[in-house]
Amino acid sequence: MRRALTPRRANRYNTPSFFGKRSGMADSDLIPAVQVASGEKFVNERGITAIKDGVKTRGPAVRGPDAPRERKPDWLKIRVQGGATFDRVRDIVHEHRLATVCEEAKCPNIGECWTSGTATIMLMGDVCTRACRFCAVNTGNPRGWLDPQEPANTARSVQLMGLKYVVLTSVNRDDLPDGGAAHYADCVRQVKALNTGTAVEALTPDFLGVLADVETVVDSGIEVFAQNVETVRRLTHPVRDPRASYQQTLDVLAHAKAYRPEVLTKTSLMLGLGETDDEILQCMDDLRAARVDILTLGQYLQPTAHHLPIARYVTPAEFDAYRQAGLARGFLEVVSGVFVRSSYRAEQALQKNNVGLT
């Protein structure tokens, strides 16, 4: 029996349709010939209609009252990196027709990660069925599309990059009956089969709270199960899509831990959206009550002018204080820093040194 924390998925998404790629097509070939502006609707090569960068254009750009986009503090400056290793990772990703959260979500750490030879692979395409107001991934309805070659391509890419630890994440796929859980698990199993010494972290959607789908992924052989709470309870809406909820994420994390206690659980919290210190600490308490092992904290950065504004810039000293507060509550590790993202230096999390940031 499928146990759901929320009602079963609506049938309006479940209209199967397949728009295959031509043989040998690279990801770059899927970019429309006419450049699409952020917030505008477009149709990609697969025939999927999507909103560029995930949030529709709604009048003038939004800016935070205390954090104008044109004046960022010194600690938010990041050195651009590149070189031969960066180019090799990019070529592997594109040759195997993979999406990465590094590119699709406009991650500020792409230079560091790709230059060090690693990438966070985003499964099930680059179009998400949800429209969270912090996220720059394209949003739309893929109508059941999946790449049947993605599990094998993912496994081969991990092998070529020589990864001993890989983070596999994905878009939300509410158009699929199981939210894509079976496909996700197949990707994990094929990575494991071809890369026997590689640990896998699954940074998953919430699967609409359907616990059977959570179990499908947890049973695939992963070492770490992650699902991001993103923000404090009060700010969950409007920060996250209406189909997501604070409690639903807590319940998913708690079930993953109860189902397979040996699998580490992990979540991430963005700061700078208007939360208070008391709310951050309460969120930590809620996560520990769900037996979450690892927490990451990072600065929210507005990906485009039409996403949610930055309410404040959190100082490095504040990030250090939040880390200590989390460790005092019993997390195995709290990775806390301005540019920290959920998959940032993930393989170093259990070294308990704030992944080398301190």
The per-residue pLDDT for range 28-48, each reduced to its tens digit, is: 443 444 478 888 888 887 888
Rg, Å, the chain Cα set: 19
The string of pLDDT tens digits covering residues 287-320 is: 999 999 999 999 998 888 889 999 999 999 999 9
Is 8's pLDDT higher than 60?
no
- Within 26-78, residue ranges assigned H as helices are none
Q: Residue 122 is which amino acid?
A: M
Q: Are 271 and 314 in contact (CB under 8 A)?
A: yes
Bridging pattern class, strands 138-140 and 165-170: unpaired
Q: Which two three-digit tokens encode residue 300?
A: 């929210």
DSSP string, 231-265: S-GGGHHHHS-TT--HHHHHHHHHHHHHH-TTSEE
What is the rounded distance in angstroms from the CA atom of residue 336 to the CA atom of residue 315?
11
What is the rounded distance in angstroms from the CA atom of residue 245 to the CA atom of residue 239?
10
pLDDT value, residue 95: 75
Local structure of 43: helix, strand or coil:
strand
| Cα 93 to Cα 101, 123, 135, distances in angstroms | 11, 12, 21
Higher pLDDT, 92 or 69: 92
The string of pLDDT tens digits covering residues 140-168 is: 999 999 999 999 999 998 898 888 889 99
Residue 343 pLDDT level (bands cut at 50, 70, 90): confident
What is the rounded distance in angstroms from the CA atom of residue 205 to the CA atom of residue 168?
11
| Cα 65 to Cα 237, 276, 312, distances in angstroms | 20, 16, 9
The string of pLDDT tens digits covering residues 192-219 is: 999 999 999 999 999 999 999 999 999 9
| Non-local CB neighbours of 249 within 8 Å, separated by 6+ positions | 206, 227, 228, 229, 230, 267
Higher pLDDT, 344 or 195: 195
**CA 312 to chain centroid:** 22
| Cα 50 to Cα 155, 197, 227, 266, distances in angstroms | 28, 38, 24, 30
The string of pLDDT tens digits covering residues 43-82 is: 887 888 888 877 877 655 555 444 444 578 887 776 666 6
Is 231's pLDDT higher than 80?
yes
| Cα 57 to Cα 21, 41, 171, 310, distances in angstroms | 29, 10, 21, 18
Is 86's pLDDT higher than 80?
no
Buried b (16+ CB within 10 A) or exposed e, 127-154: bbbbbbbbbbbbbbbbbebbbeebbbbb
DSSP string, 287-337: HHHTT--EEEEEE---SSTTSPPP--PPPHHHHHHHHHHHHHTT-SEEEE-
What is the rounded distance in angstroms from the CA atom of residue 208 to the CA atom of residue 275?
25
| Cα 63 to Cα 53, 257, 309, distances in angstroms | 17, 39, 5
What is the rounded distance in angstroms from the CA atom of residue 199 to the CA atom of residue 203?
13
pTM listed for this prediction: 0.81
What is the rounded distance in angstroms from the CA atom of residue 130 to the CA atom of residue 243?
8
The string of pLDDT tens digits covering residues 234-249 is: 999 999 999 999 999 9
Closest CA to 44 of 129, 134, 183, 138: 138
What is the rounded distance in angstroms from the CA atom of residue 222 to the CA atom of residue 78?
32
Higher pLDDT, 284 or 99: 284
| Non-local CB neighbours of 278 within 8 Å, separated by 6+ positions | none
